[in-house]
Amino acid sequence: MKLAINLATKSYPNRRALTAGGTLLLVLLGVFLVNNLIGLAAENNRTRQLVERFSALEESPGQTVAQAPVVPQVSYSAEALEQQRQRIIVANRLLEEDAFRWTALLDRLEAILPEGVSLSSMAPHLKDGVINISGESRDVPTLQLLLDRLLGSEFFFDVRLASQSRVKSQSEATQVQFNLSLIWKEIL
């Protein structure tokens, strides 16, 4: 079998699809035109109302545009004001706690933490800037290394070891459990 290419063949456009596409495009343009005309009519109506209102205000002697809108006077009881003030205090406290930058604190501690120390809890006190930290250390020299690094850090000061005790871990190894408090400079 001998295959031959016929160069005389020509592709013809699908006139039915082109006509349908053009018709659809014209319908969409018509819809957009009608929508814009409706919006234009609404804006013209609003402009006409504003012009009428300003002309009425200018014709009124002694009344200016700034005096035109009347704000109703509302009075609140002392009890309602106190309740609202308490809600605002609670909301502000929640916003302060939410604004605490945990990632920055954890980054600083991660850079300082020696091998063999794990932290189990941290509790920031936003009013005085103190952070209470609890954790475990593999041994006393590792805990001393942590304290030395915290004291030598430029980010923490007033580091105080509140308590330490030896405890047996799940692997029967003796570990040192500790509680300390410190002040983080970025919390103040």
Candidates 166, 160, 102; CA nearest to 132 is 160
| Predicted structure pTM score | 0.49
pLDDT tens for the chain, residues 1 to 188: 566 666 566 676 788 999 999 999 999 999 999 999 999 999 999 999 988 888 887 777 665 555 555 556 777 888 988 999 999 999 988 887 777 778 888 888 999 999 999 999 998 887 788 899 999 999 999 999 999 999 998 888 899 999 999 888 777 778 899 999 998 877 65
3-state secondary structure of 50: helix
Sheet with 130-137, side-by-side order of all strands: 117-125, 130-137, 174-184, 156-168
Task: Cite the DSSP H helix spans in 60-101.
Answer: 78-98
Residues 126 and 131: their CA atoms lie apart, in Å, by 8
CATH of domain 101-187: 3.30.1360.100
Please report, for the chain, the start and end positions of each structural domain, with discontinuous segments joined by +: 17-64, 101-187
